[in-house]
Amino acid sequence: NAGVTQTPKFRVLKTGQSMTLLCAQDMNHEYMYWYRQDPGMGLRLIHYSVGEGTTAKGEVPDGYNVSRLKKQNFLLGLESAAPSQTSVYFCASSRYGLTTDTQYFGPGTRLTVL
């Protein structure tokens, strides 16, 4: 049981390039989330998904797109990367979206945009 995994672990992009971050979970969780972590700002929710085929905007969605074609996978895309998107990205999942549910996090992807 690997839990939540993220690919890649590190990535360096040039401004304007595109990339996709992959998140996978093997816990059969319904809800999945993408956060970004910046120094002194905690974690901020980018997008989330309440189930296969659904996505919704979080607190800071601009410049990102997501897809949830399979229940176990949640993809985060950057169509045209900007230096402001330099951050550590975390994926998380929870069994349901109940307010009492615990979220389980992946190890993170460190992205640098030059």
Partner 1 sequence: AQSVAQPEDQVNVAEGNPLTVKCTYSVSGNPYLFWYVQYPNRGLQFLLKYITGDNLVKGSYGFEAEFNKSQTSFHLKKPSALVSDSALYFCAVRDAGRGSGYSTLTFGKGTMLLVSP
DSSP helix/strand/coil, 60: coil
**For partner 1, which is the closer residue by CB, 28 or 100?**
100
Q: Which of 90, 93, 111, 113 binds partner 1 (CB under 8 A)?
A: 90
Look up residue 51 and give its two tokens: 């189930």
Of the candidate residues 7, 15, 18, 56, the single one contacting partner 1 (CB under 8 A): 56
- Interaction between residue 103 and partner 1 (CB under 8 A): yes
Q: Could you tell me which stretch among 11-19, 36-44, 62-70, 74-82 binds partner 1 (CB under 8 A)? A: 36-44
Backbone angles phi, psi at 85, to 5 degrees: -95, 5
At residue 7, the 3 state secondary structure works out as: strand
Can residue 65 be called a binding residue for partner 1 (CB under 8 A)? no
Contact 73, 24 (CB under 8 A): yes
Q: Which of 12, 59, 79, 82 binds partner 1 (CB under 8 A)?
A: 59
- Torsions phi, psi of 61, nearest 5? -85, -15
Contacts (CB under 8 A) with partner 1, residues 8-27: none
Cα 61 to Cα 2, 32, 43, 45, 102: the distances in Å are 28, 15, 13, 8, 22
Name the site residues for partner 1 (rule: CB under 8 A): 4, 40-45, 48, 50, 56, 58-59, 90, 92, 97, 99-100, 102-108
